[in-house]
Structure 1
Amino acid sequence: MDLLSPDFGLLFWTVVIFLLTFLILKKFAWKPILKTLDDREKGIADSIASAEKIKAEMSHLKAEHEHVLAEAKAERSRILKEAKEMKDQIVGEAREQAKAEARRIIEDAQGAINNQKMAALTEVKNQVGHLVIEVAEKVLRRELSDQSAQQQYIRELTKDIELN
């Protein structure tokens, strides 16, 4: 039972040693410990403030990034639209040039065809004229008095003529 009810002397010396240890710790260790705790608390507070500041800055940068991205998308859309319009314009111009060239070629071909047609008609007229002259010459040389004999002679002559 001595352990459950300590002696007054033991109790006195325990209190004295406790107070002495408390005073020594208060004088030499308490201030550095409190200072270290205060410094640590300030460091943690500064870290939290810095983290909040970085978080706000990151949020701002994210918003700015989204804005720049939206501008880039708008610029890309504008460039694609301009490119499409330019392509359509170039294709339209090329189509018009091709149509104009085709019209010119057709007109040139029609002119050449007309020239050849006229040349062929002139050639045919010349040949017919020569044939007529030859027939007339042969009819006049023969000087037949009978009309039916002249027509018979013309038929014979036309059978002999070869058209080229």
Structure 2
Amino acid sequence: MDKLLNDFSPGLFVVQTILLLLLILLLVKFAWKPILNSLNERESGIADALKSAEKAKLEMQNLQADNQKLLQEARMERESMLKEARDIKVKMIEDAKGEAQDQANKIIEQAQAAIESEKKAAIAELKTQVANLSIEIAEKVTREALSSNDKQLKLVESLLGETKFN
């Protein structure tokens, strides 16, 4: 430090002080204002960016709320559609069961009618066969019984005796 004090020159100090002041004045006039302006612009840009970010955040929250609402509505609509589909399925099954029951009843009625008509046809055929057999038996008995004249006369007399005339 002693060396600095020994080499100190007041003229040089004044010149350096004047140069320093001139440099500060030049910096204030030409550099300080642009630097402050750019800092102010940067500060306002950051503030605007923060405001924009806050707006974007609010919009994002609103969009998320809207998305949640739409998702809830979609779920409700899906549940409604599923319930409606289940109801339609149950109704279709019930209709099919009713139709199947009606078809079964019709088939049973037709089968009963067919059985009844077959029964009547069988009875009629049986009657016809019995009548034919009776006629054949009567023919055979009559041929044998009427083979002689005496037997024929007796038969005619007995028939006439049994018959009542008014």
Normalising TM by the smaller chain, what interval? 0.7 to 0.9
The change in CA–CA distance for 1:32 and 1:135 in structure 2 (over 3 A counts) is: same
Which residue number in structure 1 is paired with residue 67 of structure 2? 65
TM (norm. structure 1) is: 0.78
- Distance of 2:110 and 2:48 partners within structure 1: 90
TM (norm. structure 2) is: 0.77
Q: CA deviation at 1:141?
A: 4.5
Q: Aligned partner of 1:32: which letter?
A: P
The change in CA–CA distance for 1:117 and 1:4 in structure 2 (over 3 A counts) is: farther
Q: Aligned match of 1:22 in 21, 24, 29? A: 24
Q: Aligned partner of 1:47: which letter?
A: A
Long gaps (5+) in structure 1: 145-164
Q: Aligned partner of 1:95: which letter?
A: K
Paired residues for 1:100-115 under 5 Å: 100-115=102-117
Paired residues for 1:78-97 under 5 Å: 78-97=80-99
| Superimposed CA distance per residue, residues 54-105 of structure 1 (whole angstroms, 9 cap, x where no aligned partner) | 0110111011011101111111111121112112211221221122112111
Q: CA deviation at 1:4?
A: 6.3
- Distance of 1:131 and 1:4 partners within structure 2: 170
- Distance of 1:91 and 1:3 partners within structure 2: 112
The change in CA–CA distance for 1:5 and 1:136 in structure 2 (over 3 A counts) is: farther
The change in CA–CA distance for 1:19 and 1:127 in structure 2 (over 3 A counts) is: same
- Distance of 2:67 and 2:24 partners within structure 1: 59
Q: Aligned partner of 2:135: which letter?
A: I
Q: Aligned partner of 1:53: which letter?
A: K
Identity %: 47
Higher RCO structure (Cα 8 Å, ≥6 apart): 1
Long gaps (5+) in structure 2: 147-166
CA-based RMSD of the aligned residues comes to 2.0
The change in CA–CA distance for 1:5 and 1:83 in structure 2 (over 3 A counts) is: farther
Paired residues for 1:144-155 under 5 Å: none
Q: Aligned partner of 1:41: which letter?
A: E
What SS does structure 2 have at the residue aligned with 1:2? helix
**More deviation in 95-104 or 50-59?**
95-104
Q: Aligned partner of 1:117: which letter?
A: K
Q: CA deviation at 1:140?
A: 4.3
